[in-house]
Amino acid sequence: MKPRATAAAASIAVAILLPLAFSDFLRSLSAMAVIAGLIVLSLVVLTGFTGQISFAQYSFAAIGAFTVGALVAGHHWNFWLATLVGVAFAAGVGVLVGIPALRLSGLFLAILTVAVALVFDRFLLAPGTWNAFSGGVSPWRPPRPSLLGIDLGGSYPFYLFALGTFLAVTLVVWNLRRGKTGRVLRAIRESEVAARTIGLDVTAWKLGAFGVSAAISGLAGAMTAVAIGSVSPASYDFLHSIQIAAAATVMGVGSIASAAVAGIFVVFGPELLRHTALSSRYFSLILGVALIAQLVMAPEGIVTKTQNDLRRRLQRKRAPAPSHERPSVRRAPAEVA
C-alpha cells in the first residue's frame, strides 16, 4: 500500500475509534468540526482549484440550514428531501453570485462576496424581511433524522453520519482534482487567457465551480441545522465566513487534507482556550497571528507545506544511491605497423 493510502486509512480509523472514548459533549464538538471541514472543503474547490475568492461561504451554508429549518420544522418535510432542496437552492445562489464574479478577481471579487454576505446578514435573514424562510424572531428547531432505521439522535451515531458525509464529499472532490475537471480548473486558475485560447469555456467552468462550492456549503448548513437543533442567523454571519476563510488559508487552501485539520482547529481551538488562563475570545487574535506567520513562513499553508516536505523526503529515500565506483578507462587498440 502506498504511504499516502496508508496514512489516509490510519486517519480514518482514528477518526472512527477515538470518539468512542469521548463524552457526548466532545462527540458533538467532533461532529461540528467535521461539518466545519466541509465548509473548508468548499473553499478548496473554489479557491484552491479555481483561484476564486469567497467570503460568503457561511451565507451559502445559511441557505441549506434555513431551508431545512423552514421545511422540516415549519412544514414537516422529510429531512433528506429538504436537504436536497437546500443544497440545490445553495448551488443556484452560488451560480448567481458567480455571474457578476466572472469579470472580477482579487480585491474586487473579495468585495463582491463580502457584499453578498452582508446582504444575507442585514437583510435576507433579518426578522421581518422573509419570516417564512428565516423564522422571524423564533429560530427553527428541526429534529435529527434517522438513517436506515438508525436514530441519529445520539452523539456518536450522528458523528459517524457527519464523518461519512465528509469522507464521501472528500472522495468526490479528490476525484474532481485528479480528473479532467481538476486539470481544467487549474488551467483557469493559472491563466484565464491561456485557457480561453485553447478552447475552454471559462465562463461555464467558473460558474460550475461556484455552484459546486456553494452546494457543499449548503450541505454543511443543512447538517448544522440538525446538529445544533436550532437555526438562527447568528450562527451564519459574516464573521464566521471570515474565520473559516482565514483557517483554510493558514492550513493551505490548495490541499484537501487541510479541510479536516482546519475544521478541528476552528471548533476545538476556542474550546481549548476555555481551559486555559485565556478565554475563547482570544481565538480570533491567535488565528490572526497564525495567518500573518503562515503568509511569511509558509505561503502555501501549514498542511500543504508539511505534505510537500514529506513527499520530497520520500522521493529522496526512493532515489537510487549515487555510485562511487571509478569509471573504467578503455584503451584504444594499438595501431598495426
Q: State pLDDT tens for residues 69-89.
A: 999 998 999 999 999 999 999
Average pLDDT, the chain: 88
What are residue 199's phi and psi, to 5 degrees? Answer: 95, 10
Residues 6+ apart with CB under 8 A from 284: 243
User: What are residue 151's DSSP bridge partners?
Assistant: 146
Identify the weakest region by mean pLDDT among 149-158, 256-265, 310-319.
Answer: 310-319
Cβ atoms 42, 217 nearer than 8 A: yes
Q: Kindly tell me if the per-residue pLDDT of 167 is higher than 80.
A: yes
Average the pLDDT over each of 60-69, 289-298, 328-337 and give the range with the smallest value: 328-337
pLDDT at position 219, please?
Answer: 97
Mean pLDDT over 311-335 rounds to: 61
> Cα(185)–Cα(195) distance, rounded to whole angstroms?
9
Q: 115 or 281: whose pLDDT is higher?
A: 115
* Distance between CA atoms of residues 218 and 225, nearest Å: 11
Residue whose entry in the numeric block shows the C-alpha cell 478552447: 199
Find all residues with CB under 8 Å of 139, minimum gap 6, and list them.
69, 230, 231, 232
pLDDT above 70 covers a percentage of the chain that reads 94
Look at residues 175, 148, 144 and name the one whose alpha carbon lies nearest to residue 31.
144
Separation in Å, CA 301 to CA 205, 218, 256:
25, 25, 12
**Alpha carbons 165 and 213: distance in angstroms, whole number:** 15
* Residues 300, 254 contacting (CB under 8 angstroms): yes
- DSSP codes joined into one string, 139-177: -B-PPP-EETTEETTSHHHHHHHHHHHHHHHHHHHHHHH
- Answer for the pair 266, 58: CB distance below 8 angstroms, yes or no: no
* Nearest-angstrom CA–CA distance, 72 and 20: 30
Q: What does the alpha-carbon distance between residue 194 and residue 199 come to, in Å, rounded to a whole number?
A: 9
DSSP codes of every residue in 183-250: HHHHHHHH-HHHHHHTT--HHHHHHHHHHHHHHHHHHHHHHHHHHHS-B-GGGG-HHHHHHHHHHHHH
Q: How far apart are CA 163 and CA 15, in angstroms?
A: 8
Residue 328: which pLDDT band, with cuts at 50, 70 and 90? low
Average pLDDT over residues 144-164: 92
* pLDDT band for position 316 (cuts 50, 70, 90): confident
Distance between CA atoms of 96 and 99, rounded to whole angstroms?
Answer: 5
Residue type, 205: W
C-alpha gyration radius of the chain: 24
Name residue 324's amino acid.
Answer: H
pLDDT of 327 higher than 70: no
331: left (phi over 0), alpha (psi -120 to 50) or beta: beta
- The model's pTM is 0.89
pLDDT given for residue 336 in this prediction = 39
**Whole-angstrom distance, CA of residue 189 vs CA of residue 186:** 5
